[in-house]
Chains A and B, each alone.
Chain A
Amino acid sequence: MFDIETSQGWPMPVLDDLNRPLFEGMKEGKVMVQKCADCNTWLAPSAFICEACGSENVPWVEVSGKGELYTYVVYHRAYAPEFESMVPYNVALIELEEGPRLLANIVGIANEDLQIGMALKPVFQEVAEGLPLLRFEPA
């Protein structure tokens, strides 16, 4: 379980040293992931070390954000009041062209039309003040 801050009507990310660059990147319209500086393995956020070689040198790198749908679910009930107006809504894993997978919502398409493997591109949507959340839409 982790702390959730919902004072803005949306669960805000609890920032720490490991995930901060991801959310700071969103404010600048950037998709940020990590890449091992020693063995060049692309890493899904948030990595403390490179899981391939064990290096601690895993800087954040901006990528295009192009990718494809890896898997998804569609919620038919709201587990918290702030999501009630969104139901039915999706949550997905997107595989970026560099390889890492990100958790995000897919917008701009009906849930019934989602298909694993479909091409996606990033879009930033202000879900709460100060949170232009990284989402994806059909490319």
Chain B
Amino acid sequence: MAKTEAMSAIVGLGMSDLSREYTHTSWQLAVIAIHRAIKDAGLNKDDIDGLLINKSPVASLSSLPMDLQDYAGLKDLNLNNVVEAEGSSGVQMVQQATMAVQCGLASTIVCVFSDAPIQPGISTQKAFGMPLPLMGKTGIEAPTALYGPVAAYGLAARRYMYKYDLTEDHLGAVAVSQRQWALKNPLAMMKKPLTMEDHHNSPYVVEPFHLFDCSFPVNGAVAVIVTSAERAKDMPTPPVYVHGMGQGHRGVTNRRGFEPEVNVGAKLAGEKAYEMAGVTPADIDVAEFYDAFSYCTLLQLELYGFVPEGGAGEFVLDGQIAPGGSFPTNTGGGQLSGYYLQGGTPLSEGVMQTRGNCGERQVKNDLVLSAAYGGRMQFHACMITSPHYTL
């Protein structure tokens, strides 16, 4: 293994309270998370000289504006930016902060994701139920009654299942495995055990997805503080060193010879990150994915190189990503059973696992992969973190 030194470190983590009811606006949740992250890092707000903001792609610009600086009382920033790469932004913020720290643009950068899809008068079911141009066919989707992300992902999932001869058992195994992790995570929203029978008996939302194949809206915010790897050595929290990062955006081609539903950019993102860190997928101990739908975990297990392409279904059905399995995955319960905070979900659990303070759900953590995607798995970003300054 080539010897590499860390590029940056995450030294603070703050989360608002998470809720499936409306309690605060998105910017209020963001302010709470920012200040909890600052406190966690043993800093005060005047130490912060950079702010990166990530709102949900379906939230309005005004819900989480650049004025967040003032709502949070942050002064004299050298960096302030809304990062817009849809669901991949949670990880992309850390990538941008790392670059900013490396080149000296800013030294102590808070990165925050916040969302409040559940609003007074907007139920959890309606929060993401609007027609979205997820297929990139503006004007064509609505007349075919293609509404909501569940179907856009469902089209991709059906093709993936067809390609590798997968059944609902393989999807259900993801949901069941992640629920086992969630039961060990005090932050997780889902508190009851889930069996394969429960999964199969739950109603279809949009076939092939049963209810338990889908994540669910949560109001909440996640903030992390990124600084130089050198400085992190003297900080009070166990440093989360960033050793590799990558992005992958393959583009969607809707014609014969291309399979954009299966050949998504996760592979590209992973290859770049592994190269940067000087490691291989076999070196990674645990993976935290953006898993808005069950099949997303299967596809990412394959494209990030942890199992052969087409092999994830059997791997998961065999219990390998569940507690006690050979490759712990989505150890906080993921978005299916933990909490759906877009890229903030893999980001927060990846930080907690790398720190080694996950209690009952802590796993071996020398190398942690955290990966997020946006669009209908179109835009991918990942990072490799470690408690070790040098690999």
Contacts and interface: CB of A to CB of B under 8 A. Distances in A.
B144 A91 contact: yes
A72 interface: yes
Listed residue (A16, A79, A116) with the most chain B CB atoms within 10 angstroms of its CB: A79
Nearest to A92: B155
B292 to A, nearest CB: 15
Interface in A14-69: 14-16, 19, 22, 41-46, 51
Interface residues of B, number: 39
A99 interface: yes
Contacts, number: 125
A41 B256 CA distance: 11
Listed residue (B145, B205, B208, B251) with the most chain A CB atoms within 10 angstroms of its CB: B145
Contacts of A22: 140
B145 A91 contact: yes
A80 B133 CA distance: 16
Given A71-B261, A116-B162, A79 B129 contact: yes
A16 B139 contact: yes
A74 B206 contact: yes
B143 A73 contact: no
Interface residues of A, number: 48
Nearest to B126: A79
A11 B142 contact: yes
B236 interface: no
A116 to B, nearest CB: 5
Given A12-B143, A74-B206, A75-B145, 15 more contacts: A2-B139, A11-B131, A11-B143, A70-B159, A71-B158, A71-B162, A76-B203, A76-B207, A79-B131, A92-B155, A95-B255, A95-B256, A100-B254, A100-B256, A111-B207
8 contacts: A2-B138, A13-B139, A19-B139, A71-B159, A72-B155, A72-B158, A91-B144, A91-B146
